[in-house]
Structure 1
Amino acid sequence: MSLGIFLAVLGAAFLHALWNALIKLGTSKVGGMVILSIVEVPIGLAVVAFANPIDPAAVPWVLAAGCTHFAYKFFLTYAYDRGDLSRVYPIARGAAPMIVALFGAAFLADAVTGKEYVAIAVLAAGILLMARGVFASGEDRRLLPFAIGSACATATYTLIDGMGARVSGAPAAYVAWVFVADGTIFTLGMLALRGWDVIPRNLHAWRMGAFASAASYGAYAVSIWAMTFAPIAVVAALRETSILFAVLIGWLVFGERMTGEKALASLIIVTGVMLTRL
């Protein structure tokens, strides 16, 4: 991997942590996520306009991914309502690959190597240590089920996207259509649940939400671009440094409490995630 690609992937990791931070920063986490979702639709349509068409057989996968993204955003939003970025993000991001690995071993007849068992054990240790900090520091314990729910949704749409992109015959267009479905379903779903008041009316919230949406797509686009020049496993592993970026943003920008235990748990989770990718 060249230095340029290495720095680009680090930038993508930072963008992923950044859009999560922008959602956490807003006074209304749900409102910020709704704005992000609304802006996803024109971004996806713009990409579709210049991409190859997808195979119609991929349409059910697009809709399934959109519905699963709704769950992902819903759980993540409510987790951020109850916990710090530096606590929620590592749990939500770190538990997902562990769930995928365990599901694949149990139901997809995937061969699990000794290294993958070690990776799962490391991830479990890091997540348990991070979760223990919630109880030890008197934080809102309700963040845990929402963070784990977000991780389960992430694991689910990871499996869906893996199949859907293959069926589509045009991965770039498939992802763009997922953006359209995701943005539409989440926006309509939250309007049904919370009414029109869920949409923020101030310009500042729209600027932040739009920037978060652009950062979300940029993080994905840069990663996909890097995978055309460097080994996919290496890019995927390096991208997980987003966990460390999120922890640092929470600590240095938001002033969240940083303990030795939280820092150690974050490093263990990053190590475990990288082991699952390489």
Structure 2
Amino acid sequence: MVDLINQISGTPEGARIASLLALTAALMHAIFGALQKGRHDPWVSRAAIDIWVIVISLPVALFVVPWPEPHMWPIFAGMLVIHISYKMAQAMTYQRGAYTVVYPVVRGTGPLVTVIAAGIVFQERYNLTQWMGVAILVSGILGFAVYNYRKLEVGRETLMPALGWALITGVFVAAYTTYDAWGIRQTADPFTFLAWFFLLDGIFMPLWTMRRLARLPRTDLVPLGLRGLIGALVAFVSFGSIMMATRIDEVGRAAVLRETSTVFAALVGWLVLGEKVGPRRTALMALIAAGAIIMEFGAR
């Protein structure tokens, strides 16, 4: 499998597979976000997911994949710093602003900064058509924020600091996307990076929410545990797909395609959660999809 990944990296076939992986990551990311909604605190839900991530990834990291090379441990340390910083900024964002407003700002900032960072770190170059696709996609995502803001009835007084934190969180999304793409390329076996990534990244949230977890009623443990197990399986597919996509193809393109998760999230909200879509949201979803298509095929 590793030999096959190395063979297709940087090839047209690899680009096609990376695109499918990025779209898979987008769909799974939308489902992952939906699993954190519901009657439980979203941070408790995320902690339940990460507990299962640790349980599943621990034996894989220790007994299945090759042991990380010595030079990988500082890379993992840097990864932890970036991901913990991202989660803290995300917490500050969601504590201050309505999720429906600040989430699109986070996701809209992320791909734009990632494309710029990928140009610096990986020397990726994009033509004018591809930049137009990025601009259209980002405009559609931020359009969701404006649309949801206009319908916001409570929480406007704390929205400005929340938007500031949302921009910071979006920069951290770009930072971890770029750093993880660089990190997974530094090891001979990408599955080693993935296994240890999930194991190490899963530690923070259960520790951060330990007191909240301890106060949970016993009747909540089984449904929360089941939600956590499903979420962990979704997380493996979501984050594993996008990191593998950035291993075999351009980081910027994969990052842009992943942000079609905003479209999938709206569809999940409509089909599963019973939320209304309406003509304006449909138009914004079409704008995001158009931007992704232009970015994807602009160089062909």
The TM-score range, normalised by the shorter chain, is 0.7 to 0.9
Greater shift, 58-67 or 100-109, is seen at 100-109
CA distance in 2, matches of 1:65, 1:268: 33
> Could you say if the C-alpha distance between residues 222 and 123 of structure 1 is closer, same or farther in structure 2, counting changes exceeding 3 Å?
closer
1:14-63 Cα distance to aligned partner (Å, 9 max, x none)? 33321210102242111001111121112222332211222221212222
CA distance in 1, matches of 2:89, 2:217: 20
CA distance in 1, matches of 2:49, 2:196: 16
How does the TM-score come out when normalised to structure 1?
0.77
- Aligned with residue 192 of structure 2, among 167, 170, 173: 173
> Could you say if the C-alpha distance between residues 10 and 98 of structure 1 is closer, same or farther in structure 2, counting changes exceeding 3 Å?
closer
> Could you say if the C-alpha distance between residues 74 and 38 of structure 1 is closer, same or farther in structure 2, counting changes exceeding 3 Å?
farther
1:151 Cα offset (Å): 2.6
- Aligned with residue 148 of structure 2, among 134, 137, 146: 134
Q: How does 1:1-278 map to 2 (within 5 A)?
A: 13-48=26-61, 49-76=63-90, 83=98, 90-105=104-119, 111-138=125-152, 140-141=155-156, 142=159, 144-145=163-164, 147-191=166-210, 197=214, 201=218, 202=220, 203-221=222-240, 241-276=260-295
> Could you say if the C-alpha distance between residues 258 and 157 of structure 1 is closer, same or farther in structure 2, counting changes exceeding 3 Å?
same
Q: Structure 2 counterpart of 1:24, which letter?
A: K
Q: 1:130–1:265: 8 Å Cα contact kept in structure 2?
A: yes
Identity percentage of aligned residues:
26
1:110-137 Cα distance to aligned partner (Å, 9 max, x none)? 5443133213321332233222113311
CA distance in 2, matches of 1:99, 1:125: 14
Q: What stretches of structure 1 of length at least 5 have no aligned partner?
A: none
How many residues are aligned here?
271
1:13 Cα offset (Å): 4.1
> Could you say if the C-alpha distance between residues 26 and 55 of structure 1 is closer, same or farther in structure 2, counting changes exceeding 3 Å?
farther
Select the structure of larger CA radius of gyration. 2
1:173 Cα offset (Å): 0.9
CA distance in 2, matches of 1:196, 1:227: 35
Q: Equivalent residue of 2:274, what SS?
A: coil
1:62-111 Cα distance to aligned partner (Å, 9 max, x none)? 222223323444455666675456x6655443431111123345787654
> Could you say if the C-alpha distance between residues 274 and 171 of structure 1 is closer, same or farther in structure 2, counting changes exceeding 3 Å?
farther
> Could you say if the C-alpha distance between residues 103 and 166 of structure 1 is closer, same or farther in structure 2, counting changes exceeding 3 Å?
closer
> Could you say if the C-alpha distance between residues 227 and 102 of structure 1 is closer, same or farther in structure 2, counting changes exceeding 3 Å?
closer
1:174-207 Cα distance to aligned partner (Å, 9 max, x none)? 121111111112322344xx56547675211111
> Could you say if the C-alpha distance between residues 74 and 252 of structure 1 is closer, same or farther in structure 2, counting changes exceeding 3 Å?
farther
The two structures, once aligned, show a CA RMSD in angstroms of 3.7
CA distance in 1, matches of 2:50, 2:216: 11
Q: Structure 2 counterpart of 1:19, which letter?
A: F
Q: 1:31–1:199: 8 Å Cα contact kept in structure 2?
A: no
CA distance in 1, matches of 2:165, 2:285: 18
Q: Equivalent residue of 1:173, what SS?
A: helix
How does the TM-score come out when normalised to structure 2?
0.72
Greater shift, 25-34 or 123-132, is seen at 123-132
Q: Structure 2 counterpart of 1:120, which letter?
A: V
Q: Structure 2 counterpart of 1:166, which letter?
A: R
Q: 1:131–1:144: 8 Å Cα contact kept in structure 2?
A: no
1:196-229 Cα distance to aligned partner (Å, 9 max, x none)? 547675211111122111111023446678899x
CA distance in 1, matches of 2:260, 2:134: 17
Q: Structure 2 counterpart of 1:127, which letter?
A: I
